Amino acid sequence: MMDVDDSKAATVGTWHNSTFLPCAVGGAYKYTWGSSGGQRVTFETERTADITGQYAVYARWSSHSNRNNQARYKIYDGTTLRATRFVDQRSDGCNWRYLATVKLTSGHKGKVVLDPYNASSNEATIADAVRFVRITKDGYDIADNSIYDWDIADEPGIDYASKSSKSVSTISTNCNSLTNLATIAITIPTTGYVWVYADGIYVPSQSNKWLRIGIDNASGGNSFDSLAPFLESPNNSVYARERRFAVNKVYYFGSSGKKYFYLKACRENGADGTIMWDDFVTMFFPTRYH
């Protein structure tokens, strides 16, 4: 792993240090405005590859609405360009994001060159950290020899939406038109499964008021992929009125890319009060085992 904080990245042009968003590797990152100054940051491994093989390459940045939507990452095997990727840094920040899998040749260093490409003067390009993860093929636990160990050699990928709440009065009274409570997206690097989970409580102000809560991979609409039981309060006791829910669903995807999921709800029978959810989580698991 190479981080701008530990002098393992060489800069050209004007780059500024920042600790504004605390999720950066090492606590700080660099940023530059626009693309007119020939700016670039080069991350190069300290040691050469021991043997010729495949490496998965990941990058991190801090996301914000003023970020560059075409930050360019060029990945090299020594001096040989192996892959070029364009990244929208307005989203998906503060986590390791997969860029590409490339060949490194024995005796060569891995190198990633980040530049703003054609960012406008009011767009910032972020340089935080990159890393190479060695991957292999083996004959022991891979069901399909086209699948590499990198599918689980690194963390398989997880995203979450922070805890939040919503007044029931703001959600649909018609369950044919569901209201999105929260949205979450995860970018998966290959085929596999995504597990989606949500939990929380419904607190009505009086008894015999109920609603429906569920998760789905389509926004709004009139259906849930996974549905909590009807959440209904049996009496007016404050503690008895609290109804906890937990829903989960496993999805299979035959292609890589960004996948979206929605926590949704609707109310019936004059439901009121508040919905509060603690967790809304997605996790990716590659198709790998027998």
Q: Give tens-digit pLDDT for 79-95.
A: 999 999 999 999 888 88
- Pair 179, 127 in one domain: no
- Pair 55, 115 in one domain: yes
- Measured between alpha carbons, how far is 288 from 148 in angstroms, rounded to an integer? 9
pLDDT of the residue at 186: 87
- Measured between alpha carbons, how far is 98 from 125 in angstroms, rounded to an integer? 18
| pTM for the full predicted model | 0.54
Our count of domains for the chain comes to: 2
**Within 10 Å of residue 272's Cβ, how many Cβ atoms?**
14
pLDDT in tens, 34-61: 999 999 999 999 889 887 888 889 999 9
What residues make up the domain containing 211?
158-286
Element (H, E) at 240: helix 238-241
pLDDT of the residue at 287: 64
- Pair 16, 121 in one domain: yes
Do 19 and 28 contact (CB within 8 A), yes or no? yes
Residue that is last in its domain, among 135, 168, 188: 135
